[in-house]
Amino acid sequence: MNVEGKVLQIIDRYRIVIDLGAEDVGKGDRLLVYSLGDEIMNEGVSLGRLEIAKAEVVVEHTQPRFSTCVSPGKTETITEMIPDPNSPFYAIQRISSLYGGQTIPTVRTRESRMPLPLAEIPEGIDRKIRVGDLVRKL
């Protein structure tokens, strides 16, 4: 099924409202936000208009006649050096640090999900999302 709609509102740098509701899309669906560019011709025959991809978004919340979408973001792994109170050496490290000794930090890794702005504009191509831009299900 070909599901297409439009951007109705830009909430902030990370979220938009589209005119596709709960019957058209579901939470977690991935959509392409795009605009139409020039007509592409081949030997005098129109092949259609060029789709200028602006962003990929994920449906965050659906209502009967519209939905809220969010930037999918990126995941980055952050490594921290911190004392681990669950370590069997933690008490020894604390006592040692009181007397000028060095503590041995424990390495802990966590993932952080940061949303990517939808409104960034790369040089040369207008990829800024605007009300009226088209959306379609990927």
User: Tens digit of pLDDT for each residue in 100-119?
Assistant: 555 555 555 555 555 556 65
Spatial separation of the C-alpha atoms in residues 104 and 111, rounded to whole Å: 23
With a cut of 50, list the residues of the chain below it in pLDDT.
Answer: 121-122
From the list 117, 131, 112, 129, the residue with the least C-alpha distance to 52 is 129
**What is this structure's pTM?**
0.64
The pLDDT assigned to 38 comes to 85
H helical segments located in 1-137:
90-98
List, in order of start, the domains of the chain with CATH numbers.
4-73+115-137 (2.40.10.410), 76-109 (no CATH)
The pLDDT assigned to 35 comes to 92
